[in-house]
Amino acid sequence: TLASWERAWSTGREQLTDKHVLVIDEAAMLGTRQLGRVLEKARQAGAKVVLVGDSRQLQAIEAGSPFRVLVERIGS
């Protein structure tokens, strides 16, 4: 899960680099804060992030629906 990756990153393990590509499935379930943290970590490392999901299927677990907003504004 992303929570376990965030924990590893916070303890200095499994650090991202510019050679990494994070493919996040069920991205519609991510809340705004968690997605923001992951995107910022990837940006700092130069890693690429690919979001996969259905904005009409599952709601975000945390507050916000950033995946839905991205699909509406950018497209898919």
Calculate the average pLDDT of the chain. 87
Residue 51's DSSP bridge partners are 24
Q: What is the dihedral of CA 56, 59, 65, 70, to 10 degrees?
A: -30
Query: Residue 18 in 3-state DSSP?
Result: coil
Task: Give the pLDDT band of residue 46 (cuts 50, 70, 90).
Answer: very high
Does residue 50 come out as left (phi exceeding 0), alpha (psi in the -120 to 50 range) or beta? beta
pLDDT at 28 over 80: yes
Beta strand spans in the chain (E): 21-24, 48-51
Q: Is 54 left (phi over 0), alpha (psi -120 to 50) or beta?
A: beta
pTM above 0.85, yes or no: no
